[in-house]
Amino acid sequence: AQKVTQAQTEISVVEKEDVTLDCVYETRDTTYYLFWYKQPPSGELVFLIRRNSFDEQNEISGRYSWNFQKSTSSFNFTITASQVVDSAVYFCALSLDMEYGNKLVFGAGTILRVKS
Amino acid sequence: DSGVTQTPKHLITATGQRVTLRCSPRSGDLSVYWYQQSLDQGLQFLIQYYNGEERAKGNILERFSAQQFPDLHSELNLSSLELGDSALYFCASSVVQGPHNEQFFGPGTRLTVL
């Protein structure tokens, strides 16, 4: 099966706490791509990061960092010093090649609530 | 703002009716994707077009159809609507097709079937 599991349905933290969102994926492909998207209360889906399967370097962008571990099929997302504006639903997705096209397979999402 | 536009923003209709959702991709993007987000199914891929041609299909119902026009905008047609079709429908676009490309999402059309 090719799927994405986000086991944490909802996480609540207090502002300035660090929080890690877990993502575990399954794929039979040797080359694949992983994405994180953010869905704020306004509803749109905002692209955050793309990672390919042959680049295991961790990535940091401001308060955001991503840890990709092929050995455990995980692509976790950490927000440092969380802020109220980080409150959103976060989706991890696996990008799959299809015969003539491609698609994203999303996890169920993790609701992050950051309280002031 | 991703540059992908979708109209209408909200749509309320009755069971058995037919609706058309419209999407304009980002300037220069050739590939358009449609996704459905519902409480029970989550975010599900419906269909992909690339430069006017259908390229990939997900679990799209036979009552649903889509097309991409020469100007690259796309329409998703939903017919014989049922209560369970109520959902947020997203359009996304990417420069070309391929799993390595970021897909940029529009704001969505919220469909309510009464």
CA-nearest of A66, A80, A64, A78 to A33 is A66
Strand pairing report for A88-97 and B64-68:
unpaired
pLDDT for residue B100: 83
Q: Quick check: B90 and A100 CB within 8 A?
A: no
Q: How many angstroms separate the most distant Cα atoms in chain A?
A: 48
| pLDDT value for A57 | 79
Q: How many beta-carbon pairs below 8 A join chains A and B?
A: 74
Q: Which phi and psi (to 5°) does residue A85 adopt?
A: -70, -15
Inter-chain CB proximity B33 and A103 less than 8 Å = yes
pLDDT score at A60: 85
Query: Considering only alpha carbons, which residue of chain B is nearest residue A51?
Result: B100
Q: By the CB < 8 Å criterion, does B104 face chain A? A: yes
pLDDT in tens, A25-48: 999 988 899 999 999 999 999 999
Report how far apart the first and last C-alpha atoms of chain A are (Å, whole number). 40
From residue A61, how far is each of A23, A49, A54, A58, A80 by CA, in Å? 18, 9, 20, 10, 10
pLDDT in tens, A53-111: 888 778 888 999 999 999 999 999 999 999 999 999 999 999 988 888 889 999 999 99
Which of the residue ranges A7-16, A100-109, B13-22 would you say has the lowest mean pLDDT?
A100-109
pLDDT-derived band at B79, boundaries 50, 70, 90: very high
Smallest Cα–Cα separation from A25: which of A74, A80, A91, A76? A74
Q: Give the integer Cα–Cα distance in Å for A77 and A19.
A: 8
User: A-side interface with B, Cβ within 8 Å?
Assistant: 32-33, 35, 37, 42-47, 50, 52, 91, 95-109
pLDDT at residue B92 greater than cutoff 80: yes
Tell me the mean pLDDT in the region B79-95: 97
Q: What whole-number distance in Å separates Cα of residue A44 and Cα of residue A33?
A: 21
Instruction: Return d(Cα B92, Cα B105) in angstroms, integer.
Output: 4
The span from the first CA to the last CA of chain B, in angstroms, equals 31
> Do residues B35 and B44 lie in contact, with contact meaning Cβ atoms separated by under 8 Å?
yes
Query: How much of chain B exceeds pLDDT 70, in percent?
Result: 100
* Cβ <8 Å between A44 and B45: no
Rounded to a whole number of angstroms, the distance from the CA of B82 to the nearest CA of chain A is 23
With beta carbons under 8 A apart, name residues in chain A contacting B100: 33, 50, 52, 95
Q: Quick check: B22 contacting A, CB < 8 Å?
A: no
pLDDT digits (tens, 9 = 90+) for B19-62: 999 999 999 999 999 999 999 999 999 999 999 999 999 989 99
* A91 within 8 A of A47, measured Cβ to Cβ: no
B58 in A contact zone (CB under 8 Å): yes
B34 touches chain A (CB under 8 A): no
Residue among B42, B99, B106 minimizing CB distance to A102: B99
